[in-house]
Amino acid sequence: MIMSEKCKQHVDSCRFCWMCHHICPIGNATGQERNTARARALGISLVNREAIELEEIMDNIYECCTCGACVHDCITGWDPVMFTKETRLQAALEGKTPDYINALIDNCLETGNAYGKTEICPTLVEAVKAHADKKDTLLLLGVDAKFMACKQALKAIQVLEKAGVDFSVLENEAPSGAQLDFLIGAANETKEQMTACAKVLDNYNTVVVYDPNDAKAIKQLYKEYGIETKANIVTFTAFVAGLLRDGKLEAKNSGKAVVFQDPYQLSRDLEETEEAREIIMSYAVLGEMLLNRAETVWAGNILMAQYMPEVIKLVAERRIFNATSIGADTIVTACVGEYVSLNNVEQDKVKIISIEDLILG
């Protein structure tokens, strides 16, 4: 397998190291050694040494959620996410990507989203039409919200309406490229999708990005891939926190005790941890999960649930257990993927709500 020398160095450094063994949300959910960063590095090293074929490890390569907990926890600076994404890219170039992943990639290329959806729910259609006129500010909802959680997309719109923001929403959003980046890394198709999105965003002064997955892609990955946008890109949480500070949202604290589920895209990748807390503390009494901010534990997503639903359910169950272990009965989310994942668990101990739910009451 063709792999950069940098990635080979990281693979060979990780393959016999157990330093991050305890931190992987997938490994902890399954209890399987194969789901640790060490085991993934060992498999890749065997391919590099021509002991096994690339196809033999690809299921395992796609069992990584790329949350970066292993990277954050490594005091020696090794990066399992980097070599995992490079392996996905090489598999795509060699035509060795699993069929179930190819189906998601094809959907991204044909419909702009991995789910192959082309229509949004009627209530969201009407809400989007009400903001069809061109304004200086764009609310970018993202494919997860638009196609898989339209009620949450609608709530995001309602929050900005409540604050009196003059904004646009696009009926046919350009996909950010975040899903393709997860599936095949820095492929030409990924960069082309990102470039097309950046051109659309350039038509606006400010772009409020609802989904942290898209925010990470646009604010971080675009720069890494040499893609520029002239728009001011701001996360939904940061934008709403600003509305509260400016008095455009009038908050009343209910006194309800809640804990916050930090999205890793905000807390680890974009180093944004306090904005969501500002919002939550305006409406409720905030407690903390034992692992929070940059130490957060991923709680699942919609994309990986398409091909490993039972494992994603286990991941969400463990995060709910983390909350019940400290006596929490309400988790507030700031990522639509985690909101859906946590709510897919059948349980009656913890209520899962979004920041939008807090604001709208």
CATH number at residue 198: 1.20.1050
Please give the biggest Cα pair distance in the chain.
63
Q: Are the C-beta atoms of residues 333 and 339 closer than 8 Å to each other?
A: yes
- Does residue 170 fall inside a structural domain? yes
Same domain, 38 and 55: yes
- Does residue 297 fall inside a structural domain? yes
Domain total of the chain: 3
β-strand partners of 287: 259
First to last CA, the chain: 53
Same domain, 215 and 296: no
Question: What pLDDT does residue 178 have?
Answer: 98
Does 202 score more than 90 pLDDT?
Answer: yes
Same domain, 269 and 285: yes
Residues 166-200: pLDDT tens digits? 999 999 999 999 999 999 999 999 999 999 999 99
Does 361 score more than 90 pLDDT?
Answer: yes
Same domain, 275 and 205: no
224-243 mean pLDDT: 98
% of the chain exceeding 90 in pLDDT: 98
Question: What pLDDT does residue 52 have?
Answer: 98
Distance of CA 16 to the CA centre of its chain: 29
- Does residue 236 fall inside a structural domain? yes
- Does residue 299 fall inside a structural domain? yes
Angle subtended by helix axes 5-14 and 37-48, to nearest 10: 130
DSSP 334-354: S-HHHHHHHHTS--SS-EEEE
Of 242, 258, 278, which closes a domain? 242
Same domain, 291 and 329: yes
- Does residue 110 fall inside a structural domain? no
Q: What is the CATH number of the domain that holds 351?
A: 3.40.50
Same domain, 207 and 264: no
Of 214, 242, 270, which closes a domain? 242
Question: What pLDDT does residue 81 have?
Answer: 98
249-276 mean pLDDT: 97
138-154 mean pLDDT: 98
142-157 mean pLDDT: 98
- Does residue 106 fall inside a structural domain? no
Q: Are the C-beta atoms of residues 171 and 197 closer than 8 Å to each other?
A: no
Q: What is the mean pLDDT of the chain?
A: 97
- Give residue 345's pLDDT band: very low, low, confident or very high (50, 70, 90): very high
Same domain, 151 and 134: yes
CB atoms inside a 10 Å sphere around CB 204: 23
pTM comes to 0.97
Question: What pLDDT does residue 358 have?
Answer: 97
Same domain, 355 and 289: yes
Same domain, 206 and 261: no
Same domain, 204 and 296: no
Question: What pLDDT does residue 115 have?
Answer: 98
- Does residue 115 fall inside a structural domain? no
Same domain, 145 and 71: no
Provide the domain limits for residue 173.
122-242
- Does residue 117 fall inside a structural domain? no
103-112 mean pLDDT: 98
Same domain, 218 and 284: no
Does 86 score more than 90 pLDDT?
Answer: yes
Question: What pLDDT does residue 76 have?
Answer: 92
Of 97, 114, 132, which closes a domain? 97
Question: What pLDDT does residue 21 have?
Answer: 87
Residues 287-299: pLDDT tens digits? 999 999 999 999 9
